[in-house]
Amino acid sequence: MSKIKMLFFQTSFISLGIFLAVGVAQAVMHFTGNTYATDWYFLLSVILAGVLCSLPSFVLNAEKIKPFFVRIIIQFTLVFAAVSLLGWLFKWYSDIISYLFVILIFIFVYAFVWIMTKWFYVKEDKEINSALDSIRDEE
């Protein structure tokens, strides 16, 4: 998969995951009688978060860092730092409880993106293998 395509999918999956998590949180808060209103720039901050948090995925392709587990830890730390910084800049949290909530959403979105990326790679691998099989059948 090309790097630009990978960045586009990562950005899309991250933004979608954030929107899903925040939507579920808003629904829960609504049904418990609480209200939650976002600022006018919330949508832009989510898209910016998607872009910035997809950039550390290049660390996963770094061949110089040998153990893959170390690459995952570095990537996770960079993404977590980006989310914490963006959360502070865009006022996603104001106290420790809301910061813990942001961390919970971060973990959900991180797992969601890994699952979606894995699904996408498996789908792409199947398409490539079927194309190769059809080429072999013609020969």
pLDDT in tens, 52-101: 999 998 888 878 888 888 889 999 999 999 999 999 999 999 899 989 99
Query: Torsion angle of alpha carbons 83, 88, 90, 92, nearest 10°?
Result: 80
The chain-wide mean pLDDT, for the chain, equals 89
Token representation of residue 74: 């570095």
Percent of the chain clearing pLDDT 90 (strictly above): 43
User: Of 93, 31, 68, 34, whose CA–CA distance to 76 is shortest?
Assistant: 68
The pLDDT score that the predictor gives to residue 111 is 93
The pLDDT score that the predictor gives to residue 1 is 63
Query: Torsion angle of alpha carbons 70, 76, 81, 83, nearest 10°?
Result: 170
Cβ 83 vs Cβ 124: under 8 Å: no
Task: Give the SS3 label for residue 45.
Answer: helix
The pTM is what? 0.81
